[in-house]
Every structure is written in C-alpha cells, then in structure tokens.
Structure 1
Amino acid sequence: SFHVLTKELNGLGFDLRVERQKDFFEAKKDRVTIRIAPPMVIRSWSYGEVKKAETLNYRTFKPERDGLFCERIFGPVKDWECACGKYKKQRHRGIICDRCGVEVTTSDVRRERMGHIELATPVSYVWLFRSSANWLGILLDLSQNTLEMVLYYERYIVIDAGNTPLKEKELLTEDEYRDNYSKFGSAFKAGIGAEAIQELLKKVDLEREMAKVKETIRKKGKRDHISRRNLVKKLRMIEGLLKTQVKPEYLVTSVIPVIPPDLRPLLPLDGGRFVASDLNDLYQRVINRNNRLKKLIKLQAPDIIVRNEKRMLQEAVDALFDNGKHGTPVLGKGKRPLKSLSEALRGKQGRFRQNLLGKRVDYSGRAVIVVGPELKLHECGLPKQMALELFSPFVLRELRKKEYFHTLGSAKRALEENRPEVWEILERVTRGHLVILNRQPTLHRLSIHAFEPRLIEGNVIRVHPLVCPAFNADFDGDTMSVHVPITIEAQMETELLMKANSHILSPANGRPIVTPTRDIVLGCYYLTFMSDHEEYGAGRGKKDAGIIISSFEEAKLLYEFKQLELHRPIRVRDEEGKILITTVGRILFNEILPPEIPFQNRLVNIEVLEDLVKKVFEKCSYSKTAKFLDDVKELGFKFATYGGLSIGIDDLKVPELKKKMIADRQREVSRIEKDYRTGLISEGERYN
C-alpha cells in the first residue's frame, strides 16, 4: 500500500523520500520528506516519454508502442518475454530486445515503472492556487482571481514594466496589451498563462524575500491580524521551499508524470469489451490536447487558436490532478465524474484511510458484542473458536513443548480437528495473556482497552456492562475488534498502561467514566430505600421510629430468616457505638464499601454512586476501586431482580383535567349532531 501511495504521489508531482537517520542514542529512525518534484526529477523517474493516447491495439490486444501501456516504457506484459517474442525464458534476463526495445524481465515492473508527458507549454498545479490556501498567490502577492485570469488566458500580466508607466504584475486586457505594445514596443514585457507566472517566479529571490517578510512582520506587530496571518503563511512557504531546495519556478511544470500501468489497469470482460481506470481517460485528454497544441504551434496557427488550446491543456491537467477543482468536472459514462489522482487519496475510500490506516492485521478478529454481567471489570468473554485462531502460534508452541505431537504438521492437524488436548492448552495459554478490544471509531484513548480473555461458547464477544460508556458502546449490533499482543514488550505495555481496571476516570474532565447505570442503579436504589409505612413507625417521633436491634450481624440474620423486611426502618448501633436509624438493605450495601469509606446511611441513586466511585478512587487503590465496581454491579443486578420492579398503567397518574376535556368535547359533538338532524347545518359543515 505504501508503494502504491508513493507512486500516486509521484503522479501528482510530489517527490516522496524515506530517509534513515540516527538520533542522539544511535537509534535508527525513518523519516518521510515530501516536496514538489522538479522537472529533472520527474524525468529521472521516467523510463520513456508517452507520446500517444492509444492503449491497446484493437486487433492484437497488445499495448501500442509509445502509448499509455507501452511495453518498451513500462516493461513486458508476460514474464521474461519481450513484445515481439524474440527473447523468452529467464536466461535472457536483463537483455533489451533490438527489434521491439522491450527489456526481458518480470511483469511486476509494470507496477513500478513510470513514464512522462513532455508538455508543449508550462502548466500550473491546480492545488497550488485552488486549495484552502492560495500558495502560488501568497508567494507572488496575487489574489486567486487574478491568478486564475492569467492562468486561463483571460488577462495579460506585466512581467517587467521597464521605463513605461505600467506597473509590475498589473493586469491587461487583450485591447490594453495591444495598445501598450503599439505605444512602447519591446520596452515592457507582459505574458499570459502559466508561462508568464513561471517568468514571475524566476524573478523571486527567496533569501531576500524572506528577510523582507520578517521585517514587515516585525513592523506590523500584533495589530493587523489578517495581514500578519498572510505574511506568516508566506514566510512558512519560503522557508519550506528553501529547506527542500525547490526553486520557485518549479511550482509551474512542463513535465507530467505518468503512473505505472498496473495501478490504472485495463481489464478484459466477456464479449470482447474492456473496463478501464478513469485515470486512462484523463491521461488521454492531456495527451490528445498536448499533441494538438504541438501541431498548431508547428503550423503557426493564429495566436487566438493556440491560446485557446493552451487553456484547454491547463484544464485537462487540472482534471487529471483533481477533477472538479476548477470548473465543471469531466464526466464519463453515465454522467459520472471521473476519479482523478487526488480522488484516489482523499476520503473514506481513499488510499490513506482505506488502505494505510484501515489495514487488516494478523492475530486480530471482529465480532458483535453482547453484555456479560458475570464478568469482572478486567475480563472479556472471547468465543473459543476465535481464541483458537488468535492464539494458534502459542497453542502450537505448547503442543510441541509438551510433546503431544512431534512435528509441526501433526500439531496443525490436531488444531484443525479440535482435539481435547488443544482446548486444555488454549485454556492455559489464554490465562493471564491480555487481549486488546477496540471499538471503531477510535476517537480517544478510552476506545481501546486491554482485558483478560475468558473462553466462552458462541460467536459473540462479551463485555462488562460498566465499560460501555468508555467505549460509547451499546448492544444493538455494535462490533469490536480483538488484537493479540505478541511480543513481551507489547504484553508488558498492555498490562501496565491499557488494562480496563486502570481507566476509571475520564481524561477529559477527571470524573469517573466507569459508573454504574440503569439496572445497577435501580437495584441499589431498591436496596437502600427506607419505607415510611405506618406500621413501621410513621406518625411517631423520629427517635422512636424502627425496631431496636443490637448489631449489624443480628439484622442480617433476621433478614436471612425472613423475620425482617428489607426496607423496614431499624435502630441499630454502628461499630462506634452510635445509634443509627437505617435498614437491612443499607447495611448490605455498606458491606461492599472499602474500610476507608464511612457508613453510607442514605438513599443511593446515580449521583450518590458516582460520588462514591470518586471517593473510593481517591482514597483506595485501582484494584480496590475495580473490586468495588464489580461488587456494586453484582449487588445492583441481584436486587433489581429480587425487586421485580416494573411499570403498569396503574402507576400512571391521570390528570384531573382529562375528564373535563373529554366531557366538553362530547357535549360539543352532541350539539353538532343535533344541529345536523334539525337541518341547521349541512353535511359538509357537520365535519368541518
């Protein structure tokens, strides 16, 4: 993919280099540098000039000589065979055929070898003046509109004013140019198109321009924000050109690179038809217009016709680099815009996101997620069949080490047949070996967590309900990918930095991200609720409320023997000897709290739970916080189930106003019916 990306960037006129350098600790590092390719560099990439727009011969279906698929330029179509068939087989390797000029080598070179098109007139790169920043205009101090009028042959621009009253970079119409030329002759110099822009760029002295810009920025200070921002952009561009050793005139080119033919293939279909890459059509437009322009110049055609052809050539190159960036996009069959070189890189289906960032990874899998309430915070449920595939190298190694099988082949067969000993080894291998779960889109670091796998039946991944907010996951068909860290370093990093029970707080605001919700909150609320029913002491003074019990243990014992209701108020001494009015439910809830947290004699809702998680995290360790969260989850689910709370129509409060409104409407209906029967209103008025 990186090789293809390099060739596509070369096709856009970028010189991409991978440099190896050593840092302070003598560690080797790769660095990628990118710059605009000078014409001589583009020619050095090329294996020959593409002169014709033809692709394949319609009778032989072989590539046309000097065409877009020429074997002499891009290499042979068949391995170790030249185009004419004089040289065949590998023994002639490296020989260039004296008849057809094709080198005897593998057909793989057709993915690497580039060609070039020599243009009859210079053209500008469309993304230098039609992007978010008008880089060409910034360097020359010209607006985007001015640049476009010059590049598309609408206005002349003064290159050198000489001793005339004209100003440098002044725009002239056709008539103004002719009038000034008749007055001053060759005392001034003006031009049109990319050729004129190239002349202006040649006059730019980067060193002197940089010093001038720095001085202007220093004088302006921070008052004029807009002007200062443009000057800073110009300074950045000049520094970039100096650093990459790109001369300003290279921003306009007279050579177009042609990417390898196997990256823009022409594939045969049934019935003798072909399907071609859109790039071939765009290259053909450039070649046809370029050849026509050369012919017109040779025939010394009128200046207006030549200028029009030059403008069309600029538009064809624009469409090749970025179709639709300037003007109406070039359409193919079915009125579909053709995909340009830039289109292959940008967007979700582009080279970066689809092929480089979205690569398939070995020792990884993907499955739908479901809730796993039986799991601990640091665990995930991994399907056995998936785990066997992911951990197959470790299982094979263990099978050989334990001498279950003597050869690698027999161990692999045992793996395929799912022998009993394989499952034993898998259980042992996965114990303590963390896996990484990732939910796309990976927007922040909490989207990737490490878990200890617990082998389960089925085809879905089970996740702990409390980690869902961190992943922003729900169970409506969401999928997660699993990755297995292979090396010892990767396993250590996963253990120390990525384990789920280490990510309790949100890095965004410092509040707990792993907070009990929904059924867990309902269960805790039900558990800690205190009833105020009259038989439990309502109406009496607060001090007299509740039966007296000697200790927490006695209260729990009475509850277990069904002698005491969960929500009934009781008076009991705490560990410090103070008398509390509480419930058995609250005593049970406080049992899961760490010793560092005092007795919580309050109704527990979502805010209280979030506060408790934060307090436990601040006063205790990560492991104690994780244990508390697991215990809250178990307790919440248990008492949500015991409570069996649900909602019915009897729980809904009907507003008193409803009866009055219905009665009023019924009276109105009766009045209308009566009016209709007595003939006061018609059929149409009755229903209006």
Structure 2
Amino acid sequence: MKSAEQMRQQAHIQVVSKNLYSQDTSHTPLAYGVLDHRMGTSEKDRPCETCGKNLADCLGHYGYLDLELPCFHIGYFKATIGILQMVCKTCSRIMLSKEERQQFLDYLRRPGLAYLQKRGLKKKISDKCRKRTVCLYCSAFNGPVKKCGLLKIIHEKYKTTKKVVDPIVSEFLQSFDIAVEHNKEVESLLSRAQENLNPLVVLNLFRRIPNEDVPLLLMNPEAGKPADLILTRLLVPPLCIRPSVVSDLKSGTNEDDLTMKLTEIIFLNDVIKKHRMSGAKTQMIMEDWDFLQLQCALYINSELSGIPLNMAPKKWTRGFVQRLKGKQGRFRGNLSGKRVDFSGRTVISPDPNLRIDEVAVPVHVAKILTYPEKVNKANIELMRKLVKNGPDVHPGANFIQQRHMQMKRFLKYGNREKMAQELKLGDMVERHMIDGDIVLFNRQPSLHKLSIMAHIVSENTLMMSYIPR
C-alpha cells in the first residue's frame, strides 16, 4: 500500500475539478479535471501533454486527489479491525506485557520464517491482546472491536465477560442513574455501551502506534505503516486504462466506469467542504462521509454486499477488483490466455488411416493456419511455387514479409508471378500448413500444459478412407 506522500511523488497533477470538459464548443478536457491530458492520452490525434508521445507510445501518468475526510480502504478493512483488536484504543500501544513483547520479537528475528509460521504467530499475538481488558501502559479500559454494518467499526469499551464487575465499569454505569430514573429504556441499552471508531479516530490511533510495536503487528515498518491502511488520498489512474469512447450515434462521449466514479468522489468532496464551511448539522456531514466511504469502496470493489437501499447505486459498474478477478479478468482473460496468431481449432473425429503421432487438419483450416518460413537456398523453389499458388489454392501462401521490412504483402491481390521471381533469401513467407509440419495438439478444455503434445500434420484423410462397395 502506498502512503499519501508516495502517491504525491508518483503523480504529475492534483485533480480537483468535477467537470470533465470545458463548456466551450471545442469539447476540450478541463485542466485539473479527471480527463486532463497531462495524465496521458486516449485519442489518436491528441498527444500526451506531459511527455508529448502519442497513444501507442505513452504509458500514461498518474494524478492524485485528496479526500476531504479519511475513509476506510475496503481491501484492508479486515486488517484494520485486526490491528485495532491488538492495540490500546487510548494510547495506541500494543496490549502485551514487556516479557511477551520480548518473547515474540525474538521469535520474529529468526531468519527464514515461513508464511504459515508468521500467520500462526499473528494469531497467537492477537489472541493474547484480545484477552487483556486493561492497558498495561495507560490503564485504560479496552473491550472487543467489531464490524458493525458496512464500513463501520465499534469498540464495546465497557463490555466484560467476567463475573466480577470492575470498579471502572460500575462507576461508568452509575453515571447513568439519573437518566435511568427518568427514562427506563436506557437501562437495557447500558450493557451495549460502545464508541464508534470512525476513520478519523482510527487514523489518529494508527499514527500514534510506536515504530517498535509495528513488527509485532506482523507489518514491515519500512514497507508500510499502519496509518497507510486508511485512505486520505486516491491515485487517479492514467487515461489509457480508462479511455473515453466518442459515440457517433449520440453527440458526446461514453466515459469509463472509473472516470465516472472519480467524478462522483470529487463531487462528494466538494459537498463535504461546502457543508463544513457553512456549518451544517453534524448528522448531515456524517451522512455525506458515509456516502464518500461507499463511493471509495465501490471504486475499488463494486461487488459489495450489505449496501443500504437508500445508498445503493442505480447502475452496476466495474471496479478495480472486477478488472483483475475471474475468467474475464486481467490475469486469466488477458495474461494467461490470449488470442494469438498461428493457432486454430477444429472438431476432431477418429480415423483408422492416421498414424498414432498424426493429426488430420482440414484443408480449410490449413489455408488459414499458416507457418512463417524463411526463404533459403534449399527451399526457394518451393517458396516460389507456393507464392504463385496464392491464398486460395492449397498448398499456397498468404503473405510475404520482405527482409528488413515491417509491412506484410497480401498475396490475394497483385502480380504473384512477379512477386515469386523477386523472392530473396531471408524473406519470410507465411505458407499454408502442409503434410509433415509439426504442431502442438491439445484437447479442450486446456487444464494443464501436460495435455499438449506434438503431432505431425496430415491432410484430412477422411475421403481416402471411403472405399466404394
């Protein structure tokens, strides 16, 4: 997780405007808006304003936007609760005695600790901390910390499981005696006395955690501090990963889900700023804050459960998590499995005329599924013959790529006789698949690479195996 300062260093501009385009007729992106071209470009005819490169060459540049109030990070929400259960909610020290601290620190210093050992150790530290109800450093009372609804954390400070009631707890309960006299309903609620840990409270608690306690939370203080788990600043991703699609049917553009979510977050930021300056009711600001938290969570993961009906989004959008996970996500859809050249698929059926290491490829597939062969002294005559045959006659060729040239020439058009005569050593001919070629053959679904085997191509022999009676 990047800290707010690291985000600022990585970014090129601060995004502040909720409007996407300026109100003139030229439809230019607004400066310091979410579509500012200093963050890269998503249009062919407009270069990036930071590096001057075009769409194909510019990798994009980040921006950042400051949140008016801190928010919980939906991805680190569980980790946030885990840390709160281990530290004192008054002085931010870890709830361990000096002997226990030393014992766990010695264990952590062992070289080559496995992941499972670290996980087991974290559970041990967490269990020890949760059992302790009084802080050893500031003598403050601590109770269980729980998730309460969507992105809300509560601390049941005076809840005890012991039979003997602590004097601090009884003193706290007695302070409500007058209130109970006048309103009997208060009595049943006293056992559930709790404090709300909002992101601002949690951020201040995390900032006060001493550096020597951070390793005991199983965190690396050099890589990230506990305070970095709370969002105070958001990175605005480059334009090339959230392009605007210019629509011909409707006059205007179709904006990406991430762009729309960012404009909503900036809009809510402005609303909170106005309400704070005009001195609106606290309840109003708290509602705005809850909504800002929800939008920041939906920006990261849009498949949240338990969203209240009054806050639920009208239209489903794709967050960052949805771009990465699942079958159509980045890892499985675009990185592990891709659409590539020189591969094909066809239905298969058994054939007694094929050898055990052969695979029958229909002529139609063999014409499309080509093999790029370099022209040399031994094959130049064959290559000339294939070029003359062209893409429609099998065996033929589909393309020629001349040496030191990036452009391919399609053999369906043009003078093939002339092209065949001009063929030089080192040129590349994309010829049709012919008997004797070696291909990798695999049965769908491809579950692991062990199912892929090399086979020799044989022309479809189904017609040869038909013997008339």
Q: Give the 5 Å matches for 1:492-511.
A: none
Residue identity opposite 2:239 in structure 1: P
Shift of 1:331: 6.6
Residues 1:299 and 1:426: Cα distance change in structure 2 (over 3 Å) = closer
1:265 aligns with 2:209: no
Q: Which consecutive residues of structure 1, in runs of 5 or more, have no partner in the other structure?
A: 1-35, 83-95, 97-101, 159-163, 167-175, 177-189, 212-233, 461-688
Which 4+ stretches in 1 moved above 6 angstroms? 329-332, 419-422, 425-429
Which residue, out of 378, 403, 423, partners 1:401?
378
- Does the Cα contact within 8 Å between 1:151 and 1:193 map onto a contact in 2? no
| Structure 2 CA distance for aligned equivalents of residues 108 and 450 of structure 1 | 37
Q: Distance in 2 between matches of 1:344 and 1:53?
A: 24
Alpha-carbon distance between aligned partners in 1 of 2:363 and 2:383, rounded to the nearest angstrom: 25
> Which residue is 1:327 aligned to?
306
Does residue 307 of the first structure (1) align with residue 316 of the second (2)?
Answer: no
1:459-608 to 2 correspondences below 5 Å: none
Note the alpha carbon deviations across 1:591-613, whole angstroms, 9 max, x for none: xxxxxxxxxxxxxxxxxxxxxxx
Identify the residue that residue 367 of structure 1 maps to in structure 2: 346
Q: Which residue of 2 aligns with 1:68?
A: 34
Asked if the contact 2:215/2:221 (under 8 Å) is kept, the reply is: no
**Residue 286 to residue 387, structure 1, CA distance change in 2 (3 Å):** same
Shift of 1:324: 3.4
Deviation, 1:262, is 3.1
1:290 partnered with 2:256 = no
Residues 292, 258 of structure 1: CA spacing in aligned structure 2 closer, same or farther, 3 A cutoff?
Answer: same
Counterpart CA distance in 2 for 1:300 and 1:108 is: 49
Q: Distance in 2 between matches of 1:282 and 1:251?
A: 21
1:419 and 1:451 map into 2 onto residues whose CA distance is: 20
- Structure 2: distance between partners of 1:254 and 1:303: 20
Which amino acid in 2 is paired with 1:47? H
Counterpart of 2:201, as a letter, is: A
Instruction: Find the residue that maps to 1:361 and give its secondary structure.
Output: coil
CA contact (8 A) 1:111 1:263 kept: no
Aligned pair in 2 of structure 1 residues 344, 244: CA closer, same or farther (>3 Å)?
Answer: farther
Change (3 A) 1:147 1:318: farther
CA gap 1:427/1:351 in 2 versus in 1, 3 angstroms: closer
Structure 2 distance, partners of 1:383, 1:243, is: 62
- TM-score, scaled to structure 1: 0.43
Q: Deviations over 1:521-569 (max 9, x none)?
A: xxxxxxxxxxxxxxxxxxxxxxxxxxxxxxxxxxxxxxxxxxxxxxxxx
Give the alignment partner of residue 317 of structure 1, picking from 285, 296, 301. 296
- Is 2:454 aligned against 1:454? no
How far did 1:64 drift?
Answer: 1.8
CA distance in 1, matches of 2:286, 2:62: 30
The match for 2:220 is: 242
State the Cα distance separating 1:369 from its structure 2 match.
1.8
Match runs of 1:647-658 below 5 Å:
none
Confirm or deny: 8 A CA contact 1:75 1:103 kept in the other structure: no
Letter in 2 for 1:137: I
Unaligned runs of 5+ in 2: 87-129, 131-143, 158-166, 170-178, 180-194, 398-429, 464-469
Assess if the C-alpha contact under 8 Å between 1:152 and 1:193 holds in 2.
no
2:114 is the counterpart of 1:136: no
Task: Name the aligned partner's letter for residue 343 of structure 1.
Answer: Q
- Cross-structure match for 2:204: 199
3-state DSSP of counterpart to 2:16? coil
1:47 corresponds to 2:12: yes
| Residues 1:115 and 2:63 are matched in the alignment | yes
- Cα shift readout 1:26-82 (whole Å, capped 9, x = no counterpart): xxxxxxxxxx22222222232211112222345432212221112244459565769
Per-residue deviation, 1:267: 2.0
**Larger gyration radius, structure 1 or structure 2:** 1
Match of 1:475 in 2: none
Larger RCO, structure (CA 8 Å, separation 6 or more): 2
Per-residue deviation, residues 617-655 of structure 1 (Å, max 9, x unmatched):
xxxxxxxxxxxxxxxxxxxxxxxxxxxxxxxxxxxxxxx
- Seen in structure 2, the aligned counterparts of structure 1 residues 277 and 351 have a Cα distance that, compared at 3 Å, is same
Q: Which residue of 1 aligns with 2:393?
A: 418
**CA distance change for structure 1 residues 441 and 312 in 2, over 3 Å: closer, same or farther?**
same
Partner of 1:499: none
Equivalent position amino acid for 1:322 in 2: N
The alpha-carbon deviation at position 377 of structure 1 amounts to: 2.5
- Give the drift of 1:244: 6.8
Aligned to 2:440: 436
Q: Distance in 2 between matches of 1:76 and 1:372?
A: 52
Local SS of the residue matching 2:346: strand
Q: CA deviation at 1:428?
A: 11
C-alpha spacing 1:153/1:380, structure 2 compared with 1 (3 Å): closer
Report which of the two has the higher share of helix.
Answer: 1
Aligned residue identity for 2:339: R
Q: Percent identity?
A: 22
1:409-437: CA deviation from partner (whole Å, max 9, x where unpaired)? x9645453537688xx9899753x53222
Give the Cα separation in 2 of the matches to 1:78 and 1:445: 39
> Is the contact between residue 297 and residue 306 of structure 1 (CA under 8 Å) also seen in structure 2?
yes
1:66-99 Cα distance to aligned partner (Å, 9 max, x none): 21112244459565769xxxxxxxxxxxxx7xxx
- The residue type equivalent to 2:391 in the other structure is E
SS in 1 for 2:345: strand
What CA distance in whole angstroms lies between the structure 1 residues aligned with 2:6 and 2:357?
A: 55
Separation in 1 of the partners of 2:396 and 2:151? 75
Residue 322 of structure 1 and its aligned partner are, at CA, apart by 0.8
Within 5 A, what are the aligned runs for 1:74-223?
74=40, 79=45, 104-108=52-56, 112-129=60-77, 134-141=78-85, 146=145, 148-149=147-148, 152=151, 155=154, 165=168, 192-204=197-209, 208=213, 210=215
Q: In the aligned structure 2, how far is the partner of 1:205 from the partner of 1:151?
A: 29
State the TM-score, normalized to the length of structure 2.
0.61
Say which SS state the counterpart of residue 371 (structure 1) adopts: coil
Change (3 A) 1:391 1:406: closer
